[in-house]
């Protein structure tokens, strides 16, 4: 997904680190098909979501040479355009596709500008700006991550019923997390949690975004 | 065998450590399982020590072992386990997580690639990192 960005910028003290919030067997075919030259890591228990308070993919963080977060987690170039899809024909209006491409291009352009210009890039946030954008977890979110982790572990050791109960409780405690819900949801033949339950959950968002739009200059 | 998960640590302990909602570990075990040190001044991580409440000391300490689950809850952090008390997660509390995030230092982690090779975020220090998530679902 980020291959051309990586190829273009890899000689500028830059790397992409892609992390799949996913099981290895599900992520493997995608990685093997795309053959990215940047590291692709597997995060079965969603550690990264716990550490960085993530709720969905693709969310991304920009981290500078000193390990400082210069952009906290935000949607990485995706839009809510899929919500305009005709659910019988699976088609999306051309204008929506055009907007999706424009947003993606703008986001990648912002990453490129930061890599080339560093702190002077308009989208590299100073400490006060970055701190203002942080979304810190509350107690329910913290407990949800503990239960999700226990659930993933119990799946691994074969306690499937208890695992499901823990993960269900996690998703109730943290309803904003699409990552927890979709990881655990029933998947279709393509491996997507995009059945009626998914659409019902999306529709329940109402005017709230599925992919909140980042504030990119 | 008891399995205890905390952050990216996974450790195993004898069955008799767990009793319902209680998890009894000695100082060495606590350090290995959580990275926290049980000292005379309390349960410590870096410069921070949470004192054991004197009124509850008898409930929290027994035969040289600390009920780490009870003490963990007292620090406001989540403790969850399966019905048989064989699999435990000592979670990180919202306050602790929020404080770490507020430093703006990207939390380090180690995760494997498909070949099982481990990558740490900190090994990429000196480069800009675009840390991007995705999933098949």
Q: What is the pLDDT of residues A30-79, one digit of tens each?
A: 999 999 999 999 999 999 999 999 999 999 999 999 999 999 999 999 99
Q: Is residue A217 part of a domain?
A: no
For A12, nearest residue in chain B (alpha carbons) = B127
Q: Is residue B43 part of a domain?
A: yes
Residue B14 CB neighbour total at 10 angstroms: 9
Q: Is residue A183 part of a domain?
A: yes
Question: Are A108 and A203 members of one domain?
Answer: no
Q: Is residue B20 part of a domain?
A: yes
Full domain range(s) for residue A23: 1-136
pLDDT of residue B90: 98
Please list the residues that pair with A61 across neighbouring strands.
B131
**pLDDT category of residue A143 using cuts at 50, 70 and 90:** very high
- Closest Cα in chain A, distance from residue B24 (Å): 19
Question: Are A145 and A102 members of one domain?
Answer: no
Count up the domains in chain B and report the number.
1
pLDDT of residue A213: 95
Beta-carbon separation of B132 and A63 below 8 A: no
Question: For B73-95, what is the mean pLDDT?
Answer: 97
**pLDDT category of residue A121 using cuts at 50, 70 and 90:** very high
Q: Is residue A76 part of a domain?
A: yes
pLDDT of residue A6: 97
Q: Is residue A60 part of a domain?
A: yes
Q: Is residue B28 part of a domain?
A: yes
Angle formed by the axes of helices A139-156 and A160-173, nearest 10°: 160
Q: Is residue A185 part of a domain?
A: yes
Q: Which of A13, A18, A22 sits opposite B127 (nearest CB)?
A: A13
**pLDDT category of residue B48 using cuts at 50, 70 and 90:** confident
Q: Return d(Cα A15, Cα B118) in angstroms, integer.
A: 16
Beta-carbon separation of A65 and B105 below 8 A: no
Q: Return d(Cα A107, Cα A32) in angstroms, integer.
A: 25
Exposure string for A147-163, b = 16+ CB within 10 A, e = fewer: bbbbbbbbbeeebeebb
Q: Which of B78, B87, B113 sits opposite A41 (nearest CB)?
A: B113
**Residues of chain A contacting residue B92, judged by C-beta atoms under 8 Å apart:** 50, 142, 145
Q: Return d(Cα A43, Cα A23) in angstroms, integer.
A: 7
Question: Are A16 and A113 members of one domain?
Answer: yes
Q: Which of A29, A147, A179 sits opposite B80 (nearest CB)?
A: A147
Closest by CA position to A193, among listed A90, A202, A43:
A202
The pTM for the full model equals 0.95
Question: Are A159 and A191 members of one domain?
Answer: yes
Q: Return d(Cα A217, Cα B12) in angstroms, integer.
A: 50
Residue A26 CB neighbour total at 10 angstroms: 17
Is the link from the previous residue into A121 a cis peptide, with omega within 30 of 0? Answer: no
- Residue B125 pLDDT greater than 90, yes or no: yes
- Residue A1 pLDDT greater than 90, yes or no: no
Looking up tokens 């065998």 gives B1
Residue A31 CB neighbour total at 10 angstroms: 18
Contact B43, B36 (CB under 8 A): yes
pLDDT of residue A19: 98
Question: For A86-110, what is the mean pLDDT?
Answer: 94
Question: Are A53 and A118 members of one domain?
Answer: yes
For B132, nearest residue in chain A (alpha carbons) = A60
Full domain range(s) for residue B10: 2-97
Q: Is residue A18 part of a domain?
A: yes
**pLDDT category of residue A190 using cuts at 50, 70 and 90:** confident
Q: Is residue B124 part of a domain?
A: no
Q: Which of B16-30, B36-50, B85-99 has the lowest mean pLDDT?
A: B36-50
């Amino acid at each position: 997904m980020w291959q051309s960005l990586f190829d273009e910028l890899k000689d500028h003290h830059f790397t992409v680190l892609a992390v799949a919030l996913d099981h290895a067997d599900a992520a493997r075919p995608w990685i093997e098909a795309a053959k990215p030259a940047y590291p692709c890591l597997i995060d079965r228990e969603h550690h990264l979501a716990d550490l960085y308070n993530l709720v969905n993919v693709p969310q991304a963080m920009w981290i500078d040479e000193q390990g400082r977060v210069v952009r906290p987690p935000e949607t990485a170039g995706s839009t809510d355009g899929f919500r305009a899809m005709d659910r019988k024909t699976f088609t999306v209006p051309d204008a929506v596709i055009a907007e999706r491409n424009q947003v993606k291009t703008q986001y990648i352009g912002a990453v490129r500008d930061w890599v080339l210009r560093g702190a002077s890039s308009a989208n590299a946030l100073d400490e006060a700006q970055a701190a203002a954008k942080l979304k810190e977890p509350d107690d329910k979110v913290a407990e949800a991550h503990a239960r999700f982790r226990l659930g993933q572990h119990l799946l691994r050791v074969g306690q499937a019923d208890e695992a499901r109960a823990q993960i269900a409780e996690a998703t109730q405690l943290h309803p904003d997390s699409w990552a927890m819900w979709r990881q655990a949801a029933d998947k279709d033949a393509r491996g997507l949690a995009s059945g009626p339950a998914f659409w019902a959950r999306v529709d329940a968002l109402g005017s709230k975004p599925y992919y909140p739009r980042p504030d990119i200059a | 065998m008891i399995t205890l998960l905390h952050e990216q640590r996974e450790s195993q302990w004898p069955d008799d450590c767990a009793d319902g909602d209680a998890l009894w570990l000695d100082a060495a075990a606590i350090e290995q399982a959580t990275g926290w040190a049980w000292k005379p001044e309390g349960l410590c991580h870096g410069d921070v020590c949470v004192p054991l409440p004197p009124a509850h000391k008898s409930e929290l300490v027994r035969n040289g072992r600390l009920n780490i689950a009870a003490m963990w809850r007292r620090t406001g952090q989540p403790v969850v386990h399966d019905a048989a008390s064989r699999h435990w997660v000592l979670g990180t509390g919202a306050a602790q997580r929020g404080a770490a995030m507020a430093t703006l230092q990207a939390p380090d982690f180690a995760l494997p690639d498909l070949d099982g090779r481990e990558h740490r975020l900190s090994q990429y220090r000196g480069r800009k990192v675009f840390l991007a998530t995705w999933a098949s679902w």
